[in-house]
Structure 1
Amino acid sequence: MKKQRHSDPKVEQLLDELMQDYKSPEQILGEEGLIKQLSKRLIERALQAELANHLQNTPKGESPSSSKSVNSRNGYFAKTIQTEQGACYLQIPRDRLSEFEPIIVPKGQRRLAGLDDKILALYARGNSTRDIQAQLEELYGIELSPTLISQVTDAVADEVRQWQTRPLDTLYPILFLDALYVKIRQEGRVKSRAVYVVLAINLDGHKEVLGLWIGPQEREGVKFWLQVLTDLKNRGLQDVFIACVDGLTGFPEAIETLYPQTRVQLCIVHLIRNSLKYVSWKHRKEVAADLKPIYQAATVCEAEDALTRFADKYDQLYPTISQIWLRHWERVIPLFDYPPDIRKAIYTTNAIESVNRSLRKVLKTKGAFPDETSVFKLLYLALNNISKKWTMPIRDWKAALARFAIEFPERFPID
């Protein structure tokens, strides 16, 4: 239980005095309410203190650039900034030699940082610049142009580049790869493109998105996946125990080239989902239950028997399902090389599923993106929001990690 912090009695006394004459929410939160007035006074006082400190730290009140000129206060100039409480009209102090550089309200800045954070938070939830403009005006009485809002979100581009090139751990036990589809306007036409999300589970069992890659306009192949994996390797990733994918063309060949010891496992959840595409709603629950004995079998032989029983029961009604499993069987059976603890971590792909579900909620409000940069910008901000909830390891991780130490003793790090 957290310790309760006790307020400063002086602060409490000041608040009591301030609140004596305020009886309604409008007097607190209104256009000329207490919060807005306090914000204005506090900012102006802080600016006064900044200038006083600047002048005090200039030797003998002289300008660092000229030993003959004496610097001093030189009145004020008016400036309007946008805050979370709306427009704030400030008196900014200035010095005679124009050397004072305020920190709290830098020169040229028209918004406080908190407002930029709100713009980015709204954008990360899939709101368009027009939507953000309308919401800020409705909630705070702030009038911002769509151009200015775009400038705030465009400033994230440098963060995206740094994030996409950041150093990685040398080992991630499990890698999940999945695709989202977005529409991007190119050469006057709207085209559907795949955005590949690479999600890893680190040694602590926590989820970490390693990066985002937009696939080529044509079908991805070995060349594309070699570029992605080379990027990961150059950033420090030296080893992966298991890569769980959804039948990505060319990926197994690419990973065998750069990470020959990594085992590629077909994502069971995606295989189940593909199977249920052919099933009517009234049979879905029953078919899903009958698929479980296949991927939850103890051995390959038991799994094959379960698949045979499934085919006997459903081939007349849904012949495509058993054919899907047989066609991908070589990528399914590696699952049975592992004990139950590791299997759960592989085929229970809640990790990547929850990420993509959250990203799709953001994307569904979007039409066509103007370019690839805008796709990265939105998904990066959305991932920042999503990752704030990743405070716990994935389920059964300690048991799985102990099994990894046994399965891969030469490659497992020793403290």
Structure 2
Amino acid sequence: MTIVPENMLNNLFENLVTEFVKDNLESILRAEIQAFMSSEDAGIRNSRNGYYTRNLHTRYGNIEDLEVPRDRQGLFQTQLFEPYQRRDGWLEEAVIQMYKSGMGTRDVARFIESMFGSHYSPTTVSNITATVLEDIHQWQKRPLQKRYSVIYLDGLYVKLKRGTVSGEVVYFAMGIDTEGHRQILGFYVGGQESANGWREVLKDLYDRGAQEVLLGVFDGLPGLDAAFKEVYPKADVQHCVVHKVRSTFPKIRVQHRTEVIEDLKTVYNAADEELARAAFDTVKAKWSKLYAKE
């Protein structure tokens, strides 16, 4: 039995894919010029004039010596690509996706040059990714529904570079509408998490249309309850179960945390208050007894 190295199989597969793509592109091109020559646009004295070859970078690989048909009067133009186009648009889309994933413009430019041999300056990358910033801005300002059953608030700290690298909070607001559909209502970057920061977030949600909320769910950040009630005075407030569970971690030994979390699930997944209280008493008795022995 002959064992074929993995890199040889990969190269074989890539070659098969590019050949398949090339064959199909050329079939489309032949069909295009045939339809063109039978149309009025071709001209009375026009005729086929062989092929010219060109390369085309696609997301499936570099297609070399692609045979593009032509006519004697030079009127035919394929709809697959522009006359001087060297890529099918996938690289620009890749730039945007890399930028969205958090790569800086210089990182994207270096990556493209090392992988594809195409030189993209940081300025060019910035121009391409400007479309992302426009999309984000429009998304952040989009109108919201008037009524939400629940709005969840949470802050996530991330490292951001603004001259120096430091941790800043990203304020996240997620809503559940009256039909039970979840959606991210907005995210806001800036500074350290505070009740005043959340107050501005909540005002923005209200101004964008989310004016009726039944329940707000968030952690126990000082002042956040009051800030929420300022904007939504008729809403109930509940502290997030996840944050409540996390707050027990400093009091639990590391080796016990997984089991404690599983036990606590029996409490907050209980069908009603009576069963929840009974489950809590069981969990409390179990762990109090164990820690009393230790």
Fold shared by both chains (TM-score > 0.5) = yes
What do the CA deviations read for 1:349-376 (whole angstroms, capped 9, x no partner)?
xxxxxxxxxxxxxxxxxxxxxxxxxxxx
Change in 2 beyond 3 A, CA 1:104/1:149: farther
TM-score (norm 1): 0.50
- 1:253 to partner: Cα distance: 2.4
Matched, 1:247 2:226: no
Residue 194 of structure 1: aligned partner:
169
Unaligned runs of 5+ in 1: 1-23, 62-72, 318-415
What do the CA deviations read for 1:178-232 (whole angstroms, capped 9, x no partner)?
222211111x2111111122222223323211121113x244232x223222322
Change in 2 beyond 3 A, CA 1:270/1:56: same
Residue 156 of structure 1: aligned partner:
132
Which of these residues, 26, 38, 50, is aligned with residue 23 of structure 2?
38
Residue 400 of structure 1: aligned partner:
none
Counterpart of 2:23, as a letter, is L
Change in 2 beyond 3 A, CA 1:175/1:54: farther
Paired with 2:226 and 2:131, the residues of 1 have a C-alpha distance of 38
> Is the partner of 2:143 in helix, strand or coil?
coil
**% identical equivalent positions:** 28
What do the CA deviations read for 1:51-108 (whole angstroms, capped 9, x no partner)?
7799749xx99xxxxxxxxxxx99999865420233346659799899x997542477
Residue 381 of structure 1: aligned partner:
none
* RMSD of aligned residue pairs (Cα, Å): 4.9
Unaligned runs of 5+ in 2: 1-8
Paired with 1:172 and 1:77, the residues of 2 have a C-alpha distance of 61
Which of these residues, 108, 111, 114, is aligned with residue 129 of structure 1?
108
Paired with 1:205 and 1:220, the residues of 2 have a C-alpha distance of 29
Matched, 1:265 2:265: no
Residue 221 of structure 1: aligned partner:
195
Contact 2:169–2:192, Cα closer than 8 Å, also in 1: no
Change in 2 beyond 3 A, CA 1:92/1:84: farther
Contact 1:226–1:254, Cα closer than 8 Å, also in 2: yes
What do the CA deviations read for 1:326-381 (whole angstroms, capped 9, x no partner)?
xxxxxxxxxxxxxxxxxxxxxxxxxxxxxxxxxxxxxxxxxxxxxxxxxxxxxxxx
What do the CA deviations read for 1:148-190 (whole angstroms, capped 9, x no partner)?
666554432222222222222222211212222211111x211
Contact 2:18–2:61, Cα closer than 8 Å, also in 1: no
Which of these residues, 230, 237, 262, is aligned with residue 203 of structure 2?
230
What do the CA deviations read for 1:20-52 (whole angstroms, capped 9, x no partner)?
xxxx99777428953242254256457758977
- 1:245 to partner: Cα distance: 0.7
- 1:118 to partner: Cα distance: 5.1
TM-score (norm 2): 0.66
Q: How many residue pairs end up in the alignment? A: 270
Residue 3 of structure 2: aligned partner:
none
- 1:272 to partner: Cα distance: 0.6
Matches within 5 A, 1:93-132: 104-106=80-82, 110-117=86-93, 120=96, 129=108
- 1:129 to partner: Cα distance: 2.7
Residue 117 of structure 2: aligned partner:
143
Change in 2 beyond 3 A, CA 1:26/1:276: closer
Change in 2 beyond 3 A, CA 1:242/1:74: farther
Matches within 5 A, 1:4-403: 29-30=14-15, 34-42=19-27, 44-45=29-30, 48=33, 56=41, 80-88=55-63, 91=68, 104-106=80-82, 110-117=86-93, 120=96, 129=108, 133=112, 137=115, 142-145=116-119, 147=121, 152-186=128-162, 188-215=163-190, 217-222=191-196, 224-285=197-258, 287-288=260-261, 291=264, 298=273, 302=277, 306=281, 313=288
Paired with 1:114 and 1:108, the residues of 2 have a C-alpha distance of 16
Paired with 2:19 and 2:74, the residues of 1 have a C-alpha distance of 35
Change in 2 beyond 3 A, CA 1:37/1:258: same
Change in 2 beyond 3 A, CA 1:82/1:221: same
Change in 2 beyond 3 A, CA 1:265/1:283: same
Change in 2 beyond 3 A, CA 1:132/1:42: farther
Change in 2 beyond 3 A, CA 1:101/1:281: same
Contact 2:216–2:238, Cα closer than 8 Å, also in 1: yes
Contact 2:146–2:211, Cα closer than 8 Å, also in 1: yes
Contact 1:29–1:35, Cα closer than 8 Å, also in 2: no
